[in-house]
Amino acid sequence: MKLKQFVLNKASNVSKELSTIIDRTTLDCISIAQLKLRLPWNVLLGNILKNNVCVVGDALHPMTPDLGQGGCSALEDSVVIAKCLGEALIKPITEQEDDEFMKIRKGLEKYAKERRWRSFTFISAAYLSGFIQESDNKIISFLRQQFLAGVTISVTLRIANFDCGRLTVS
Ligand SMILES: Cc1cc2nc3c(=O)[nH]c(=O)nc-3n(C[C@H](O)[C@H](O)[C@H](O)COP(=O)(O)OP(=O)(O)OC[C@H]3O[C@@H](n4cnc5c(N)ncnc54)[C@H](O)[C@@H]3O)c2cc1C
């Protein structure tokens, strides 16, 4: 109830339609989650999988909104994880990998390896872009006014241009 009231207070200047949507939202539809930071080197040096469970999307590479790439990168993760799991599960059974659990684990290990540097790039680029935008430092402010828009567009386009590879159907 407190959260709903907080949002309604903040939304005092929004349109009637929007405030009605918030007002009509039932309490069981409102969720609150802690904000988390994953440091870039955490995905490089840490482990993103445990047994046969791993993370994708925002859980893998939470970022500030500066790149506008969170949803797209979650889709990339989905394609890559589907590819890695598909390839692992389709392999003929060997003596060492005689159960599905091991195959899934192998697939997830490949996925984690493939997405490591990409996730590092997302988190670092978003962090750097946010840092530059918020900095009060005079030199950074000058460089921001002169170059940031052009650099951000070219970096964002370069990051977005990514080939996830082909999905094997059979
Ligand atoms: C204002 C805003 C603007 C954005 N604009 C862009 C943009 O222009 N371009 C872009 O690419 N990205 C954008 N993003 C980022 C994008 O929305 C996210 O990166 C993307 O939704 C992440 O997808 P996800 O599946 O990892 O996580 P989510 O979409 O957060 O999905 C996680 C799901 O898990 C559910 N969940 C959580 N805990 C549990 C639990 N314990 N049990 C069961 N379910 C659970 C949640 O309810 C949720 O449905 C924007 C985000 C915001 C907030």
Q: What span, in angstroms and rounded, lies between the C-alpha atoms of 90 and 84?
A: 10
pLDDT tens for 40-89 read 898 989 888 988 899 999 999 988 887 888 999 999 999 999 999 999 98
Q: Up-side HSE of residue 125: CA atoms within 13 Å toward CB?
A: 23
pLDDT, mean of residues 147-163 = 84
User: Which of 7, 36, 53, 58 is the pocket-test mutation for ligand 1 (most atoms within 8 Å of CB)?
Assistant: 58
- Domain chopping of the chain, boundaries: 1-32, 38-160
What is the 61 CA–ligand 1 centroid distance (Å)? 11
Backbone angles phi, psi at 122, to 5 degrees: -55, -55
Q: Residue 16: is its pLDDT beyond 70? A: yes
Helix, strand, coil shares, percent, the chain, to 5: 65, 0, 30
Q: What is the pLDDT of residue 93?
A: 66
Q: Residue 97: is its pLDDT beyond 60? A: no
